[in-house]
């Protein structure tokens, strides 16, 4: 049986090796990122690295601080590298994110970083098309049933995460949108962002610089041309 936790850990440990003292980095959210935070925390402890980070969720913030990382909220310059996970990734660097509800802050952090390095286990890489994982879209709770209908006009069926009880760190709700397949991620991202009430869409395009896929005994690294 595939050991997905080991794959995530291998990807995270490899990524953590790239951090140098003095860097300001972005840190995303999720179980793979948790491995990254712990691996980086060990380097901080053992090598005395000085690292400052902007994190994309309250959960990552807690873990980062517990592991000795300095966390800040804002910075006028771009971050050096953003390290994050994904729910799906294709080899052009298109991603589906937001399984943990942190997509909006994750996209802000990724957009404001020179590079985005994505750490995934082997099941996340999709060589044909994205969309098996329901696409998370963060929306305002105001007039939510109309917003869901407007999203469905793009050819999906939507449900509110937790029946509407789930709240993001921004106080909003998540619509999980099931498409048969997503053939043109950039066009769909643009279309859904036009729906009033949509805060952010969990499709990330043109942001990824590198995908680190964890394998049973190491990693496979894909560089994404800009």
Residue 31 marked as a ligand binder: yes
φ, ψ (nearest 5 deg) of residue 135? -75, 120
Catalytic site includes residue 153: no
Is there a binding annotation on residue 29? yes
3 is in an annotated binding site: no
Q: How far is the CB of 50 from ligand R5P (least distance, A)?
A: 26
Tell me whether residue 30 is annotated as binding. Answer: yes
The contacts of residue 211 (CB under 8 Å, 6+ apart) are 89, 91, 93, 117, 118, 120, 125, 221, 222, 224
**What's the CA gap between 44 and 71, in Å, rounded?**
14
Q: Which is nearer to ligand R5P, 11 or 49 (CB)?
A: 11
- Closest CB to ligand R5P among residues 29, 172: 29
Strand 198-201, strand 135-139: pairing: antiparallel
CA 17 vs CA 64, 114, 128, 133, 179: distances in Å: 16, 18, 30, 30, 37
What does the binding site for ligand R5P look like in residue numbers (CB under 6 A)? 28-32, 84-87, 97-103, 106
Minimum CB separation of residue 103 from ligand R5P in Å reads 5
Least distance to ligand R5P, CB of residue 31, Å:
3
Give whichever of 49 and 98 is closer to ligand R5P, judged by the CB atom.
98
| Residue 170 three-state SS | coil
Neighbouring-strand partners of residue 29: none
Helix (H) or strand (E) holding 217: none
Of the listed 7, 88, 106, 200, which one is catalytic? 106
User: Are the C-beta atoms of 143 and 150 separated by less than 8 Å?
Assistant: no
Nearer to ligand R5P by Cβ, of 99 and 197: the residue is 99
Work out how close the CB of 118 gets to ligand R5P at its nearest, in angstroms, rounded to a whole number. Answer: 9
- Looking at beta carbons, which residue is closest to ligand R5P? 30
Looking at the annotation, which residues are catalytic? 106
**Binding-site residue set for substrate:** 29-32, 84-87, 97-100, 124
């Amino acid at each position: 049986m595939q050991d997905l936790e080991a794959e995530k850990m291998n990807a995270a440990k490899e990524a953590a090796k790239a951090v140098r003292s003095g860097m300001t980095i972005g840190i995303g959210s999720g179980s793979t990122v948790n491995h990254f935070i712990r691996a980086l925390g060990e380097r901080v402890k053992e090598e005395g690295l000085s690292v400052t980070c902007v994190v994309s969720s309250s959960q990552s913030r807690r873990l980062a601080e517990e592991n000795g990382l300095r966390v800040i909220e804002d910075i006028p310059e771009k971050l050096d590298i953003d390290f994050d996970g994904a729910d799906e990734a294709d080899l052009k660097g298109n991603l589906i994110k937001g399984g943990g509800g942190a997509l909006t802050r994750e996209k802000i952090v990724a957009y404001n970083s020179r590079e985005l390095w994505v750490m995934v286990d082997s099941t996340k890489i999709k060589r044909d098309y994205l969309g098996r994982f329901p696409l998370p879209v963060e929306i305002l709770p105001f007039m939510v049933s109309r917003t869901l209908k407007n999203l469905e006009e793009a050819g999906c069926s939507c449900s509110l995460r937790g029946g509407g009880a789930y709240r993001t760190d921004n106080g909003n709700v998540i619509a999980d949108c099931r498409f048969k397949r997503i053939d043109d991620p950039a066009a769909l991202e643009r279309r859904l962002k036009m729906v009033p009430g949509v805060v952010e869409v969990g499709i990330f395009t043109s942001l990824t610089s590198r995908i680190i896929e964890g394998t049973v005994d190491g990693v496979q690294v894909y560089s994404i041309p800009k």
